[in-house]
Amino acid sequence: MIDHLGLQCTDAEAAAAFYQRVFAACGLREAMRIDTPHGPVIGLCGPDGQPQLWTSPAEDTGHRPVHLALGAPSREAVDAVFTAAREAGAEILHEPRVWPEYHPGYYGVFLRDPDGNNVEAVHHGGP
């Protein structure tokens, strides 16, 4: 169900280093890094190599929303989440699309939940 979790950090690099140091015995390591104008977004993985814990620079919004991604069984399911979120009046952050910067076949929709968290439905794979 939970595909990945993103934490906004005052220092994303220091947070990633902390998790790698403290959870090294669990096989936690850096899987990928995306440089942004606000600092790095760092994907951490376990032994399977799939980035599932992300650290990123904190948004300047007065609070730090969590990023929660839930796995979807198909692109159609991602589209259905989008439709249901729109019908529920949720703020849509990014409509469903392919995100090649993450990996080929990454298809997701991003929205805000009632508490302002960034929630995503994601499908990994082809059409």
pLDDT digits (tens, 9 = 90+) for 71-120: 999 999 999 999 999 999 999 999 999 999 999 999 999 999 877 889 99
In the chain, where the domains are located: 1-62, 65-127
Q: Is 11 helix (H, G, I), strand (E, B) or coil?
A: coil
- Which band of pLDDT confidence, cut at 50, 70 and 90, is reported for residue 10? confident
pLDDT of residue 113: 87
Fold of 1-62: 2,3-Dihydroxybiphenyl 1,2-Dioxygenase; domain 1 (3.10.180)
- Summarize pLDDT for 38-79 with one digit per residue, the tens: 999 999 999 899 999 999 998 776 777 889 998 999 999 999
Please list the residues that pair with 29 across neighbouring strands.
45
Fold of 65-127: 2,3-Dihydroxybiphenyl 1,2-Dioxygenase; domain 1 (3.10.180)
Question: Considering all CA atoms of the chain, what is the largest pairwise distance in Å, rounded to the nearest integer?
Answer: 45
Task: Name the average pLDDT for the chain.
Answer: 91
